[in-house]
Amino acid sequence: MRFRSDPQAIRGSIAPLMTPFTADGAVDHDGLTNLVRWQLASGTHGISIGGSTGEPGSQTVAERAAAIRTVAAAVGDRVPIAAGTGSAKLDETLELTAAGRDAGIDAALVITPYYARPTQDALFVWYRTVANEFPDLPIVAYNVPSRTAVDLAPETVARLFRSCDNFVGIKETTKDFEHFSRVLHLCGRELIVWSGIELLCLPLLALGGAGFVSATANIAPAACAEMYGAWQAGDLERAREIHYGLHPLVDLLFVETNPAPGKWVLEHRGLIGSGHVRPPLLPPSEAGVARIKDFLAEGAKYLSPAEGFTVEGKS
């Protein structure tokens, strides 16, 4: 939690961890710890748990809180932790955010309440309520309209940024790149803006973004971290080279619904014991696996080494 007082330090490639399950569907805390160790060894700049890639909708509040505690214990104070603590219900959101605060997270990543399709005024009240409940914890909105059926408007982001001292940023998972620009234009670069769209991670940095929370970091953490580092160092050619080199791995992750393809990769590389996904998701189909293998071969250069982090029973 040493980054809690300086949320501007939560920058770079922040890996949104997949939640490993055992073959019978239980949360695999040992596997989760192993993924954290691998991410840190690969140079990841920050860790996130409980976002869409982590299948939070299939877990109980207690399971999500326990996963946050596991990640916080494994990370310590080495890199920032931004935990997904949002839900469609306010009481669950407050409960999970409190659990994250007590576990030592550096920021709470709060998704817009899904399904209900609240108005912009209702979204403002929602986030203000969470921010006021936890005045010493940085709050970052998670805008992902493709999953929630509601879009947090740039004007609402600016209203929250002006009204709540601890509302510090937003993860934008929208392919509307103009949306990114309007948020930064209204709020200034003091607002932390992360991209949650894989192929917009590098372009966002040109607008003044603070980094990205990309599912690609689950299988290529070193390359994602290097891309950010190259940009920061002014090596734009290397940053672009990695951006385009990661295209096959991005396509791999979305062959079928994320995170099933990525979990297949992690299992077959020995980093988790099982690629199990909870209902309503399914493991990749036979046709999907064939496409995953093709993309894997094409993007193999950018996969992070797994040696030394394989779990028992995996090669």
What are the residue numbers of the active site? 142, 171
- Which residues, 6+ apart, have CB-to-CB distance to 179 below 8 Å? 151, 154, 172
By the 8 A CB rule, do 110 and 142 touch? yes
Distance separating alpha carbons of residues 217 and 246, to the nearest angstrom: 10
> Which conformational region is residue 107 in: left (phi greater than 0), alpha (psi within -120 to 50 degrees), or beta?
beta
User: Are 187 and 158 spatial neighbours (Cβ–Cβ below 8 Å)?
Assistant: yes
Which secondary-structure segment (H or E) carries 171? Answer: strand 167-172
Query: Which tokens hold the place of 110?
Result: 């709060």
Q: Report the candidate in 185, 183, 228 with the shortest Cα–Cα distance to residue 210.
A: 228
Cα 58 from Cα 151, distance rounded (Å)? 23
Three-state DSSP class for 272? Answer: coil
Q: Cβ(188)–Cβ(172) under 8 Å?
A: no
Answer yes or no: are the C-beta atoms of 247 and 204 closer than 8 Å.
Answer: no
Q: How far is CA 103 from the centre of its chain?
A: 18
- CA-CA distances (angstroms) from residue 219 to 15, 147, 270? 10, 23, 12
Amino acid at position 259, single letter:
P
Contact 196, 170 (CB under 8 A): no
Distant-in-sequence, close-in-space partners of 119: CB < 8 Å, separation ≥ 6? none
